[in-house]
Structure 1
Amino acid sequence: MSSNADAGGHSPSETDIPAGVSGPQLPHVGVVLVTHNRPELMRRALDSILTQDYPGPITVHVVHDRCALDFGLVRQDPFREVRVQENSRTPGLAGARNTGIVSSVTQLVAFCDDDDSWFPGKLRLQTIALLQVPGAAFASTAMVVDYGAHTAVRLAGSKAIRHEDLLRSRMSMVHSSSFLADREALIGIGMVDETIPNSMCEDWDLLLRATRHGAIVNVDQPLIRVQWGGSSYFYQQWEVKNVAHMWMLDHHQDIRTNGVGAGRVYGQLAFGHAALGQRRAALRWAGRSIRANWREPRAVLALAVATGVVSDKRVLDSLQRRGHGI
């Protein structure tokens, strides 16, 4: 799939824009692009935002987190403006995103990670879908996953993402780089939680809180391209992932009451402990996972890693080749 084509085979058309709304009347969108020492990837992400076929104005807030500011990115264009700023809140992804949200004065706000990119029609199709659902405050899209030489398309299979869906599954195809939200509603929801350890699972937490107020509008076309593997700051950081999953269980008790969802998170904890060589903890969490949902495959994979049948790296490589993760 080429990033120069409109993903999903959709041809741009003015008929997509709701009746009575012209390009200049479309909502001003603020895009929060957080970066940390990845200038080449960040510039690719920025270019994919600036070349959107969205007829309305876009202001990009490039928030530098614990790295030197690049003022060469500044662009003074009323329809494609770029601002550069330093993370003024908690160090890390969550604080940097909130820095951009607070600085933006636009009606809508979107996120893009610095190692991801958008297809040209992403913002247009997503904004239109959001405008067509009265009262909707949050929107997402499907994605293309690049893992080394392998590419996979991840779809949600639905035009709406509900709270119950997110309790059962993290729905990793609903990625933070696809998020588009009404700014006032997002602030009311609580923005990004800066207390989450290492900002891990911050997108899942935000989605769970958002869906308590209503379903997320989902454009189920792969409109973003996501990099997995070595470019991810959380790739194989099992201790960080374990702590974050425990945080999620503590702050979202309803996950524990959902058999499928509990089995999945317990299985993730089992796998994380197995990857760290913590066999006893891995076996304990695998048992809890199976009791919650005997069909949960992560428990089986964790047991295989814990007993030395297969390595965690081999399991993760096999999954991510197909666009899936633990």
Structure 2
Amino acid sequence: MTGPSPTPRRPGRLPAVDVVIATHDRPELVRTAIDAVMAQDYPGVLRCLVVHDRCEPDPTLVREGRRRRVEVLTNTRTPGLAGSRNTGILAGDGDLVAFCDDDDVWFEDKVSRQVDLLERSGAATSVTGIVVDYQDRRTTRIPHPEEMTVRALARHRVMAAHPSTVMVRRTALEGPIGLVDEELPGSYAEDYDWILRAAAVGDVAVVEMGLVLVRWGASQFARQWSVIVAAIDHLLSKHAAFGEDPRALGRLQGQRAFALAASRDPGALAAAAHAVRTWPWERRSYLAGAVALHLLSADRVLDLANRRGRGI
């Protein structure tokens, strides 16, 4: 499968890159994220669009320049991460669009390596690897090209293909892939939903290097169990790939059962049993059962997973 044709541009002109950073009351972290974007060694134009969601915009973040600029916006769409990302996307006009979470930091060669790969491959979308920082321990995780297909992504959410690593052609983003889904409850897994759609449209090119420092442990979704359950239900109803593959379906059912168990929902044990019947080799289902039976602590399971640079 190949992606859409590269965006036409004048000979010798490097693609302009819009970088969307959604933020909510994290003034110090977002400044660090912006500094890393501005410090990229990419010689082309970089326009950083900082979208404030449910908080007052900070005009002191604005920077003016010929090849580097920072603009401050307010989320005018659905409150939350999805609406914020879309506000930034639609405010830009660059050939390429990249995302960065407000608590992540790009390495200085990220943009140049991704632009080069997109130009050479003709792919619509690119991702890189990450370096996970959790409790002063760092773990490098690299996605592989064979993992970036719809079937593989449905079976295994590739956390290494983090949203802060995504770069996509605007023609594909505003065209066949589409914007971020604002109907996902709480914007949970909006990045996963989007990368599934991107993989369905065309190849996802991979820079097999850890080029983004990702801080784990401060996620707004870490323990919003009811939101997680509702979002998983939304994904299951939206993507046929899960219903077509028992392994993929069992994985999401296992995650759903774990969230129910962590929230002490009385239906957790039945949900775990249902997930086991769907795909008996899914470990999350057994962890969910153990948490539901009070044999394990959900917080302890999450901590152990995060220490390995993973999630549930």
Instruction: Give the TM interval when normalised to the shorter protein.
Output: over 0.9
2:136 pairs with 149, 152, 169, which one? Answer: 149
Question: Are the aligned partners of 2:125 and 2:198 in contact in 1 as well (CA < 8 Å)?
Answer: yes
Distance 1:124 1:80, change over 3 A: same
For residues 38-69 of structure 1, the C-alpha deviation after alignment (integer angstroms, 9 at most, x for no partner) is 00010011011010111111000011111111
Q: 1:106: which partner in 2?
A: 94
For residues 223-246 of structure 1, the C-alpha deviation after alignment (integer angstroms, 9 at most, x for no partner) is 1111111x2111111111111111
The structural deviation recorded for 1:174 is: 0.8
Question: Are the aligned partners of 1:156 and 1:174 in contact in 2 as well (CA < 8 Å)?
Answer: yes
Partner secondary structure for residue 46 of structure 1: helix
Q: 1:270: which partner in 2?
A: 257
Q: 1:71: which partner in 2?
A: 59
Q: Distance in 2 between matches of 1:260 and 1:23?
A: 47
Q: Distance in 2 between matches of 1:123 and 1:24?
A: 17
Amino acid in structure 2 at the alignment position of 1:161: M
Amino acid in structure 2 at the alignment position of 1:122: K
1:208 pairs with 193, 196, 217, which one? Answer: 196
Amino acid in structure 2 at the alignment position of 1:286: A
The worse-fitting range, judged by mean Cα deviation, of 291-300 and 263-272 is 291-300
The answer to whether 1:53 aligns with 2:36 is no
Q: 2:215: which partner in 1?
A: 227
Q: Which consecutive unaligned segments of at least 5 residues does structure 2 have?
A: 1-8
Amino acid in structure 2 at the alignment position of 1:58: L
The answer to whether 1:299 aligns with 2:299 is no
Amino acid in structure 2 at the alignment position of 1:147: Y
5 Å-filtered alignment, 1:89-238, equals 89-134=77-122, 136-158=123-145, 161-188=148-175, 189-229=177-217, 231-238=218-225
Q: Distance in 2 between matches of 1:264 and 1:73?
A: 41
Amino acid in structure 1 at the alignment position of 2:33: A
Partner secondary structure for residue 272 of structure 1: helix
Question: Are the aligned partners of 2:147 and 2:153 in contact in 1 as well (CA < 8 Å)?
Answer: no
Q: 2:16: which partner in 1?
A: 28
Q: CA RMSD in A?
A: 1.7
Q: Distance in 2 between matches of 1:22 and 1:271?
A: 52
The structural deviation recorded for 1:180 is: 0.3
Q: Distance in 2 between matches of 1:160 and 1:123?
A: 22
Amino acid in structure 2 at the alignment position of 1:274: A
Q: Distance in 2 between matches of 1:23 and 1:50?
A: 25
The structural deviation recorded for 1:23 is: 11
The structural deviation recorded for 1:284 is: 2.0
1:255 pairs with 242, 246, 253, which one? Answer: 242
Distance 1:99 1:141, change over 3 A: same
Amino acid in structure 2 at the alignment position of 1:314: R
What is the percent sequence identity of the aligned residues? Answer: 44
Q: 1:309: which partner in 2?
A: 295
Amino acid in structure 1 at the alignment position of 2:281: R
Partner secondary structure for residue 77 of structure 1: coil
Question: Are the aligned partners of 2:18 and 2:98 in contact in 1 as well (CA < 8 Å)?
Answer: yes
The answer to whether 1:240 aligns with 2:251 is no
TM-score (norm 1): 0.90
TM-score (norm 2): 0.93
Partner secondary structure for residue 205 of structure 1: helix
Partner secondary structure for residue 164 of structure 1: helix
Q: Distance in 1 between matches of 2:10 and 2:129?
A: 26
Distance 1:257 1:160, change over 3 A: closer
Q: Distance in 2 between matches of 1:22 and 1:220?
A: 29
Question: Are the aligned partners of 2:144 and 2:206 in contact in 1 as well (CA < 8 Å)?
Answer: no
Q: 2:4: which partner in 1?
A: none
Question: Are the aligned partners of 1:159 and 1:217 in contact in 2 as well (CA < 8 Å)?
Answer: no
Q: Distance in 1 between matches of 2:225 and 2:206?
A: 30
The structural deviation recorded for 1:129 is: 0.9
Q: Distance in 1 between matches of 2:203 and 2:240?
A: 20
Q: Distance in 2 between matches of 1:160 and 1:255?
A: 16
Amino acid in structure 1 at the alignment position of 2:224: Q
Amino acid in structure 2 at the alignment position of 1:61: L
For residues 230-284 of structure 1, the C-alpha deviation after alignment (integer angstroms, 9 at most, x for no partner) is x2111111111111111100111321221221111010011011101124x2222
The structural deviation recorded for 1:25 is: 2.0
Q: Distance in 1 between matches of 2:112 and 2:262?
A: 42
Partner secondary structure for residue 299 of structure 1: helix
The structural deviation recorded for 1:90 is: 1.2
Q: Which consecutive unaligned segments of at least 5 residues does structure 1 have?
A: 1-20
